[in-house]
Structure 1
Amino acid sequence: MTVDAVDEPFRTQLTVRLREGDTLLGVALPGPCTFTSGNDVDILWMGPDEYLVLAEPGRQAELEGALSRESAPVVVDVSAQRNVVRLTGAHAADVLAHGCSIDLEVLPPGSCVQTLLARTGIVLMVREDGYTILVRQSFSDYFTAWLADASLEYVS
């Protein structure tokens, strides 16, 4: 199989608004259109003072408590807002190119962009081994069907 899509259900997702600071949860804050990783979390830059913290399932309370101790002014649990899909394999970028106008060849690992994929708003993370896609819950069934269709020619 040259494309593999794996659903990562129930990921912890916290939106953090922060105007000042260099780190969150001991991880350096990312710059525009990037994400940073460490201490078992990913921190995505979502806007000038907005970050999304991704972690394993069930860590909401633990991370909210840690963020409040760091004096993060606003923390909102948005774990139920988006589904997370990991797309890997030799043709993962080819599948995404079927419905995404972003030139994936110029995005280095560590990039994070908000874009449209098949007319669906997504957050796309570029990793060393593939892509992580965050898609709104309400578009999840449509996205899954689109992804299956776009992958057909690359599945052996």
Structure 2
Amino acid sequence: MADTASTARRRSPLAHAADRLAAATRSSGGAIRLAELPFLTQLNVRLDAKSPAADAVGLALGLQLPLEPDTVVRGGELRAAWLGPDEWLVAGLPGSQRELESRIRSAAGGVPLSVTDVSAQRTTVLVGGPRARDLLAHGCRLDLHPRAFGPGRCAQTTLARTQVVLVARDEPRAGFWVLVRSSFADHLTNWLLDAAVEYG
């Protein structure tokens, strides 16, 4: 069961910036959408991708752990992002850390693995709207053209000189998730707000 009581008492890293993000969204006339998605569950999972345990973990989560580099697989409310040959980031609803970790460990059986809760380490900024790619391109060296970084792609990269995990969401017009360390969230948000001015 999700621990929603504890998340209700916490203050998200960008709670103080919510009004500014909403104002930037309004002033862009729909060209840009900015918002924090606080408290998403984020588990770093490491195990042998070629082991039967990887398939069992995927089955327990209702998705297949992606084997293709820099891809994301979605299953219901969960997403698994490829971070390395034996490493994934599993993201889910706020407060579901314990339940997801238990499912992963049970499915893996006795196979050596690592499950680390990194939910408190990062927050997530939603960057959406028709000009989202243009906005991100101002501060990211990746080729963000849909042919190169389309829906279902992810990358560990830098945005505004800040290390992030960038996820191109696969829902229609859903935009991007920018997963950023909480200590750098203010810097990144200020950069996004400044870069969004030209679309206002």
State whether structure 2 residue 153 is matched by structure 1 residue 111.
yes
Q: Aligned partners of 1:124, 1:76: CA distance in 2, in Å?
A: 20
- Among residues 87, 112, 121, which one is paired with 2:127 in the alignment? 87
Question: 1:89 offset after TM fit, Å?
Answer: 0.5
Q: What letter is aligned with 1:44?
A: A
The total of aligned residue pairs comes to 155
State whether structure 2 residue 38 is matched by structure 1 residue 9.
yes
Question: 1:144 offset after TM fit, Å?
Answer: 0.6
Alignment of 1:6-45 (within 5 A): 6-19=35-48, 20=51, 21-22=54-55, 23-24=57-58, 25-30=61-66, 31-45=68-82
Q: How high is the TM-score relative to the length of structure 2?
A: 0.75
Structure 1: runs of 5 or more not aligned: none
Q: Aligned partners of 2:84, 2:134: CA distance in 1, in Å?
A: 28
The corresponding residue for 2:13 is none
The corresponding residue for 1:62 is 99
Structure 2: runs of 5 or more not aligned: 1-28
Q: CA RMSD in A?
A: 1.2
Q: Aligned partners of 2:176, 2:76: CA distance in 1, in Å?
A: 20
Question: 1:12 offset after TM fit, Å?
Answer: 0.4
Q: What letter is aligned with 1:122?
A: V
Q: Aligned partners of 1:64, 1:123: CA distance in 2, in Å?
A: 21
State whether structure 2 residue 173 is matched by structure 1 residue 133.
no
Q: Aligned partners of 1:139, 1:50: CA distance in 2, in Å?
A: 23
The corresponding residue for 2:136 is 96
Question: 1:122 offset after TM fit, Å?
Answer: 0.6
Q: How high is the TM-score relative to the length of structure 1?
A: 0.95
- Among residues 144, 152, 155, which one is paired with 2:197 in the alignment? 152
The corresponding residue for 2:88 is 51
The corresponding residue for 2:10 is none
Q: Aligned partners of 1:14, 1:5: CA distance in 2, in Å?
A: 24
Q: Aligned partners of 1:86, 1:26: CA distance in 2, in Å?
A: 24
Which structure: greater strand fraction?
1
Q: What letter is aligned with 1:39?
A: G
Q: Aligned partners of 1:120, 1:136: CA distance in 2, in Å?
A: 9
**Runs of 4+ off more than 4 Å:** none
Which structure: greater helix fraction?
2
Question: 1:127 offset after TM fit, Å?
Answer: 1.8
The corresponding residue for 1:78 is 118
